[in-house]
Structure 1
Amino acid sequence: MKTIQRNTQETIIQANLEIYGSGEGKIDTQIGFFNHMLEALKKHSLMDLSITCQGDRHVDDHHSVEDCGIVLGKLLREEIYPVRAIERFGNAAVVMDEACVECDMDICNRAFLVFDMDVYGAFKGKVGDFDVELIEEFFRALTINAGLCVHIYLKRGKNLHHIIEASFKAFGIALRRALIKNNQIIIPSTKGSL
């Protein structure tokens, strides 16, 4: 299990992660909807994740959400690299009522995010008091710091809660599938390293 403490003038975050866990851990970012999304990610990835964040929420939630992505990405990088004996690629499409979101992932140590969620002009506004635009900031911070190539895209949907929750679940399942151990694949690259 890896642990990080990250203190800035905007946030104080402590987190620990075990990628081959059972989906356990405590989430407290002081942002109810974001806690719910991280719980979904943790549950469906089967990672043991605990994270606490004290942020400058009197400004807004941006720093807390983005910095949690940074911390989770750094923990993933420490746990994943160097890549050995895993599937490397993972994908998942998750449906929640009318919504369907797909996530495709490559654990390649080359950070890239395609976040194509505004296909129907639906990905704007708020869920409760949570700014929907922060979801992309979270996934960008996570993928850059973890060294992942991730494509998240909306296949269909209208309800913002369903769309966002499906994206977190799809990411978690795609990550779990990419991390499946496979001893036939010592280094999953024709280059010989990742």
Structure 2
Amino acid sequence: MSRTGTVVRDTKETAIRVEVDLDGAGKVEVSTGIPFFDHMLDQLGRHGRLDLTIQADGDLQIDEHHTVEDVGIALGQALAEAWGDRSGVERFGDAQVPIDEALTRVAIDLSGRPYLVWDVDVPIQLIGTFETSLVKHFWESVVANARITLHVQNVSGDNTHHVFESVFKACAVALRRAVATTDRGGVPSTKGVLQ
């Protein structure tokens, strides 16, 4: 059974296509026009072992906000499509990932209930031209549209690039563990549904 999702989102601000395969090998093709964001999305696909394709054309002449937000929306929707009713998945996943001095802890529940806990201090506000506040907003968009609970706690780090790289890698590993298939079958909930 294929666990894939494809979402096309066209607005006056962005044109986005996202394809995801939960059972991929970490093959990633990303082009958003935002180099640092592309680098982070590459980490998500590779370390989550997702086949991930993201093509985004946004109104970057204004700023990067709409592109980052809409990629998060489309990615969340594609993930939700890929795992369907969440039958046969582990459901919970967690990870701790260090990048040099930075360490981030992440826990995910494919709960069907969107909730983000974000405990990440950001040493600087810009990486190149990328506004670092957009990283939280990206994850808010993913969480709301994938309908997951996500806790992100950065434990240490004084290099902002390292902090965010540890965030994306930890999210990737936790997601990989949560979507892993189990031989128990069925929806992993005493309610019988995840919503």
Normalising to structure 2: TM-score of the pair? 0.95
Question: Which of 5, 10, 13 is the matching residue for 1:10?
Answer: 13
**Which amino acid in the other structure matches residue 94 of structure 2?**
N
What amino acid sits opposite 1:63 in the alignment?
H
Which position in structure 2 is the counterpart of 1:183? 183
Partner of 2:55: 52
Quote the sequence identity (%). Answer: 39
Any idea what the Cα deviations from partners look like across 1:73-119, whole Å, max 9, x if unmatched?
0000111120111110000011000000111000010000011102x
- Give the paired residue count: 191
In structure 2, the residue matched to 1:117 is 120
Describe the shift of the 1:123–1:146 C-alpha distance in structure 2 as closer, same or farther (beyond 3 A): farther
**Residue 127 of structure 1: how far off its partner (Å):** 1.0
Deviation of 1:38 (Å):
0.3
Q: In the aligned structure 1, how far is the partner of 2:128 from the partner of 2:163?
A: 14
Query: 1:124–1:133: 8 Å Cα contact kept in structure 2?
Result: no
Residue 60 of structure 1 deviates from its aligned partner by 0.6
Alignment partner of 1:35 out of 5, 25, 38: 38
Aligned to 2:95: 92
- Give the aligned CA root-mean-square deviation in angstroms: 1.0
Asked whether the 8 Å contact 2:85–2:187 carries over to 1, the reply is: no
8 Å contact kept, 1:87–1:185: no
Show structure 2 runs of 5+ residues with no match: none
CA distance in 2, matches of 1:186, 1:52: 34
Q: Structure 1 residue 185: deviation in Å? A: 4.7
Task: Give the AA of the match of 1:146.
Answer: A
Secondary structure of the corresponding residue to residue 61 of structure 2: coil
Q: Which runs of no fewer than 5 residues in structure 1 stay unpaired?
A: none
Tell me which residue corresponds to 2:139. 139
- Residues 1:68 and 2:71 are matched in the alignment: yes
TM-score calculated relative to the size of structure 1 = 0.96
The whole-number CA distance in structure 1 between the counterparts of 2:65 and 2:20 is 22
Aligned with residue 83 of structure 1, among 67, 86, 91: 86
